[in-house]
A and B are shown apart, each in its own frame.
Chain A
Amino acid sequence: MSKESDLSRRELLKTTIRGIGLLGFGGTGGYLVGRESQSETRWQIDADKCIQCGRCATDCVLEVSAVKCVHTHGMCGYCKLCTAYFEPEPVNLDEGAENQLCPTGAIARKFIEEPYYEYNILRDLCVGCGKCVKGCNMFGNGSMYLQVNHDLCINCNMCAIAVTCPAQAFRQLPASSPYKLRGKGEGGK
Chain B
Amino acid sequence: MTESPNNPPDADSAEPDAAANRRSLLRAALIGGGVVGMGGLAGFAGKRLFLTEREARPKPPLGPEFTYDVSRFQQTDPAMVKFTEEKRFATGMERPRALALGADGSICVGDGSGLRRFSAAGEMLEEMPLALPVYSVAARPGGGWFVGHAGGIRVLDAAGTEAGWWAQPEGKFVPTSIAVTGAAIYVADAGGRVVVKLDPKGKKIAVIGARDLDRNLRGFVVPSPYFCVRMAPDGLLRIANPGEHQIEAFTTDGDLEIAWGRGSFAVEGFCGCCNPVSFEVFPDGSFVTCEKGLPRVKLYDAHGGFSGLVAGPEAFPEYLKAANAGTPEVLNVGIYAAIDAQGRVIVLDSVGATVRIMRRKEAAP
- State the A residues within 8 Å of B (CB): 47-55, 57-59, 76-83, 88-89, 101, 103, 114-116, 127, 129-135, 137-142, 164, 167
Which residues of B in the span 257-277 have a Cβ within 8 Å of any Cβ on A? 263-266, 271-274
- State the B residues within 8 Å of A (CB): 54, 59-63, 65-68, 70, 73, 218, 221, 223-224, 243-245, 263-266, 271-274, 292-293, 323-328, 330-331
A129 touches B62 (CB 8 A): yes
| CB < 8 Å A-B pair total | 108
**Minimum Cβ distance to chain A for residue B127 (Å):** 29
A50 touches B62 (CB 8 A): no
* Neighbouring A residues of B73 by C-beta, 8 Å: 88
Residue among A53, A57, A76, A142 making CB contact with B328, cutoff 8 Å: A142
What are 22 contact pairs spanning A and B, CB under 8 A? Answer: A47-B328, A48-B327, A49-B327, A50-B326, A77-B273, A79-B221, A79-B223, A82-B273, A83-B272, A103-B63, A130-B68, A130-B326, A131-B67, A131-B68, A132-B68, A133-B326, A134-B68, A137-B331, A138-B272, A138-B330, A139-B271, A139-B292
A139 touches B60 (CB 8 A): no
Most chain B Cβ neighbours within 10 Å, of A51, A81, A141: A81
* Neighbouring B residues of A140 by C-beta, 8 Å: 223-224, 272-274
B326 touches A51 (CB 8 A): yes
* Neighbouring A residues of B292 by C-beta, 8 Å: 139
Complex CA gap A57/B67 in Å reads 11
B218 touches A114 (CB 8 A): yes
B221 touches A115 (CB 8 A): yes
A54 touches B60 (CB 8 A): yes
Complex CA gap A80/B327 in Å reads 23
B263 touches A81 (CB 8 A): yes
Q: Which are the 5 A-B pairs with shortest beta-carbon distances?
A: A77-B223, A139-B272, A139-B293, A134-B68, A79-B273
